[in-house]
Amino acid sequence: METTDLQTSERVYALDALRSIMMLLGIVLHGSAAYIVTKNELWPLPDSANSLLFDLTCGFIHCFRMPVFFVASGFFCALLLYKKGPRAMLINRFKRIVLPLLVFTLILGPLETFVITYSGAKLSHALFPLQTGWKALTTGKFLPFQVDHLWFIYFLALYAGIGWLLVMVFQKAETYTETVRRLTTIIIQNFWVRILAWASCFFFVFTGSEALIC
């Protein structure tokens, strides 16, 4: 792999600040969710003092907050790739992303299952909400078949793995690597092509298979 200026670059503090701002916006987002007007099954007990302003706030922040996290993570992953190589990048991502995902899924999974089950039983005026929550743990329902609130870490691990595989492929296929480099350069340097590419990506990501049917 060719050496680049990234190998001697200093830490990008602006991106650290950007991530911090996105984290703080997360507090605003989740705090506003309790006061939205739109019915949401994930928030079974909305506050009566609601306002459409909170709906707009949640919708606006949600449009860009997580995409910014993923783009920033991809940048730092590429930076690590250029600095230390594919193998070191993969090991680093495993330690920083995969291991925390496995550990905290096993820790948070049972706790989240109990809290959600108990709260649901309490709100529905069940006779024995505590026993209902405990039953969810003893019947194996807490097993982490899905990562729930850690979904973004799961996707970060997935994208890092896909990125590593692509690097391995492109290292062995210089012709394709040069073609992809030229295509990427065209997309980045041309404003309208860049807008079209980004819009297409977001369209298919958020609509999924329905985009091909409609």
Per-residue tokens: 60: 């606006």
> pLDDT tens for residues 14-40?
888 999 999 999 999 988 888 888 877
Rounded distance, CA 74 to CA 79, Å? 8
C-alpha to C-alpha distances, 60 to 42, 54, 201, nearest whole angstrom: 19, 10, 19
Tell whether the model's pLDDT for residue 164 goes beyond 50.
yes
Rounded distance, CA 160 to CA 51, Å? 40
pTM: 0.73
Rounded distance, CA 181 to CA 167, Å? 12
Q: What angle do CA 162, 168, 172 make, to 5 degrees?
A: 145
39: which residues sit within 8 A by CB, 6+ positions away? 46
Tell whether the model's pLDDT for residue 129 goes beyond 80.
yes
C-alpha to C-alpha distances, 93 to 4, 50, 71, 72, 184, nearest whole angstrom: 21, 41, 15, 14, 25
Q: What's the pLDDT score for residue 7?
A: 47
* Cβ neighbours of 171 (radius 10 Å): 11
At 165, the pLDDT band (50, 70, 90 cuts) reads very high
Rounded distance, CA 37 to CA 42, Å? 13
In the chain, the percentage of residues whose pLDDT exceeds 70 is 84
The arithmetic mean of pLDDT across residues 111-122, rounded, is: 83
Per-residue tokens: 103: 């550990």
Q: What's the pLDDT score for residue 140?
A: 61
Reference 29, options 14, 17, 15, 40; nearest CA is 40
Counting beta carbons within 10 angstroms of the beta carbon of residue 117, is it exposed (0 to 12), middle (13 to 18) or buried (19 or more)?
A: buried
